[in-house]
Structure 1
């Protein structure tokens, strides 16, 4: 008997066993504009490496957030010590973290079996960083200046996160 074939068959059987033991990931649906969507239990289990029992016991401590960042290029202009104008472009980020309202979804036949989480809307938003404005103050090479132009250069980078009792974040969407 060919030992390599037996090893290959055993490896394939082992991999199939592992695949059956892992929770299946469901598609995450989410609309950042409304805060509505659905997260299947398998996605949460994968995010935290939880089995079904761990998900069942930790579900009440879960919350969902959407985090995004918008980036601006703002040109700061000032008068130098020689009386000439200096300019410098600053890249200014603004980050937003929005809490999402959610409800637990249960299997219809077995009330206590969680199947996922329905995201029902937007909660509160925390913003870090200030959007620069034309005419607003800035610092250019150590001198006080004024922003003369502001252009949004990056928007939409963000993701949906699941949080457990405020301990760490695990991304659900890229």
Structure 2
């Protein structure tokens, strides 16, 4: 799935807006699925409703995920002493999220929002260490013995041209 969007009409019930001040953005970063209400995009971008409707065909979505791990590298030092080094490893993934524009039936150009339809192409920077794999450092060679994910933060953004707005 690419950045393109297509049109889909849905029932009026889906178009019910969230309570004022309460975002209705739902997003699962593992699958890239969810929903962004047009009103939430308006609030986040400070665009008018007319501007959001006009720009809707060119609006794309992106995800950025940063995962942090604590990894323990162990090795034998001179004299057979077991040594360990605990390291913080950060892996960043950025990619696209496919979206489908959702319109209210029987109302011309009434954009309800965007249905997020899944993850698209992505780029990853960094590598998660594998337990048992080699780890190196100054004057030592060892093995990863413990790897734990300690944090994961995902950000969903809407983009139009050079503008980018964080949504979730």
Q: Name the counterpart of 1:40.
A: 37
SS of the counterpart of 1:112? Answer: coil
| Rounded Cα–Cα distance in structure 2 between residues aligned with 1:116 and 1:24 | 17
Equivalent runs, 1:104-123 vs 2, <5 Å: 104-123=101-120
Distance 1:124 1:170, change over 3 A: same
Gaps of 5+ in 1: 1-22
CA offset at residue 125 of structure 1? 2.8
Q: Highest relative contact order (Cα 8 Å, sep 6+), 1 or 2? A: 2
Equivalent runs, 1:10-29 vs 2, <5 Å: 26-29=23-26
How many residues matched? 149
Aligned: 1:149 with 2:149: no
The higher radius of gyration belongs to 1
Aligned: 1:172 with 2:167: yes
Distance 1:26 1:80, change over 3 A: closer
Gaps of 5+ in 2: 1-19
Q: Name the counterpart of 1:162.
A: 158
Superposed CA RMSD:
2.6
Q: Is the 8 A contact 1:80 1:143 kept in 2?
A: no
Which protein is richer in helix relative to its size? 1
Taking structure 2 as the reference length, what is the TM-score of the superposition? 0.72
Aligned: 1:57 with 2:50: no
Distance 1:81 1:41, change over 3 A: same
| Rounded Cα–Cα distance in structure 1 between residues aligned with 2:40 and 2:22 | 5
Taking structure 1 as the reference length, what is the TM-score of the superposition? 0.70
Distance 1:75 1:26, change over 3 A: closer
